[in-house]
Amino acid sequence: MTIVCPLDFRYGRDEIKKIFDEENRLQYLLDVEAALARAHADVGNIPEKAAKEISLKASLKYVKISRVKEIERETRHDIMAVTKALSEVCRGDAGKYVHLGATSYDIVDTANALQFSDATNIIKAGLKELRNTLVDLAEKHKKTIMLGRTHGQQTIPITFGLKMAVFAKEIDRHLERIHECQSRILVGKMSGAVGTGAALGRHALRIQELVMRDLKLGVEDASTQIVGRDRYVELISVLSNIAVSIEKFATEIRNLQRSEIAEVLESFEAEKQVGSSTMPHKRNPILCEQICGLARIIRSFIIPSFENAIQWHERDLCNSSSERFILPHSLILTDWIIHQMNTVLKNLQVFPEKMIENIEQSKGIPMAEAVMTKLVEKGMGRGEAHELIRKCSMKAIAENKQLIDALLDDKSISAVLTKKELLDVLNPYNYLGMSEKIVENIVKKLRRGQMENKK
């Protein structure tokens, strides 16, 4: 068999990929058919014996994927192939009750919800692990001072721990989002061709309720032939939002790993790993770069997901083919980049001494705000202080000198602040604000959440 998709040989973890492989997909469909038969028996539509036989045979042990494919080649209909293959292996007359009153997408969309349940639970577990890794880094580096940067330019100092705490809270919010999202995406339907339940008879609503309760899913209270695709739009949007954050983290590491910054380093196996086929010295952040590329693929599924929500009347078939790509790929790849990001962060090399060196090489320029603030404390107007320090900063940059020298040269400043006061103000350790306290608060809050989840 020719393998084309990189998910088959390069990306994705086996645990979540198995949810979407051919055999397990078939089993999810069979699980829905079995639940439907049991519901019919509960309301008296079919014999209990027939429901038990269908439930017993709705298994890969009896329904072979090779037979399903053989039937599909003849019928050119995937769900008809499943129902016929299941009917064939049922003893007695049980087979005639398979798929009774249902339309194909009663089975497909309900099976989708079962897959969503298993896949999003894996993603939630990955997010929790990533959050814990970030909390550990935040706590470890709550006093590790470094330059903050905005617009790619050096700004006032922060701590590496604060940066990690910001990321940890972002992941915590994603956990909330995907948990809340589950209540809306783990929903199935069993209401027939246009949502009326006509073919299911007078017990249609009860049958739908029984099926979903059996499968531990929510009920689509009013549907067309399919579950509302606003639900799928929400799922893909949440996954895309997660992908944005993971790419942001990876981009930050890539930037901090730049040769001229060199404050962190993605783990590199120096003894064997190769960074470039031609440049032997290279240590590329390959996992972070992979994360960034795959995150863009996940987000690209947003557009077709929105377009799939637009159906002709009670439904057309345009969503079917694209969802075969969108659903498994987005879930598998989201889990993968979460896992890869956690791998990067668990093994991340952090260089506090380089962070300090970069601060020292800045010649005190990033501390301009601190001096301005001190002048205001001494009674100078904020606008006046800002303009004064701006001119001194520009002078220091133009003349490639320390900011303190430019400040001492200005009589307006030296008349207000002594050299000793200026040195104190220019000490980056004295201008970290509430960084440490913020980190401690976040660590405490998220650690408490971890303990509560274990109970």
Residue 228 in contact with residue 257, Cβ under 8 Å? no
CA distance 34 to 57: 9
Buried b (16+ CB within 10 A) or exposed e, 413-442: beebbeeeebeebbebeebbeebeebbbeb
Among candidates 286, 301, 308, which has minimal Cα distance to 333? 301
DSSP assignments along 132-197, one per residue: HHHHHHHHHTTT-EEEEEETTEEEEEEEHHHHHHHHHHHHHHHHHHHHHHHHHHSEE----SSSS-
Tokens standing for 279? 């440049």
Of the candidates 180, 177, 167, which has an alpha carbon nearest to the alpha carbon of residue 130? 167
Q: Please, which residues have CB within 8 angstroms of residue 291's CB and are 6 or more apart in sequence?
A: 246, 247, 250, 337, 340, 341, 344
Please check whether residue 43 is in contact with residue 95, taking contact to mean a CB–CB distance below 8 angstroms.
Answer: no
The yes-or-no answer on residue 179 being catalytic is: no
Pairwise CA distance, residues 305 & 326, whole Å: 8
In three-state secondary structure terms, 219 is strand
H/E element holding 125?
helix 104-140
Q: Is 276 a catalytic residue?
A: yes
* CB 159 within 8 Å of CB 138: no
- Cβ atoms of 413 and 421 within 8 Å: the answer is no
Distance CA 226, CA 222 (A): 10
Q: Which of 77, 276, 321, 414 is labelled catalytic? A: 276
Find the catalytic residue in 66, 151, 183, 313: 151
d(CA 343, CA 337): 10
Report the Cα 117 to chain-centroid distance in Å: 15
Question: Using CA atoms, how far apart are residues 174 and 196, in angstroms rounded to an integer?
Answer: 36
HSE-up (13 A, CA, CB side) for residue 358: 25
Cα angle 101-102-108, degrees, rounded to a multiple of 5: 170
Find out whether 320 and 104 touch, Cβ atoms under 8 Å: no
Catalytically active residues are 151, 276
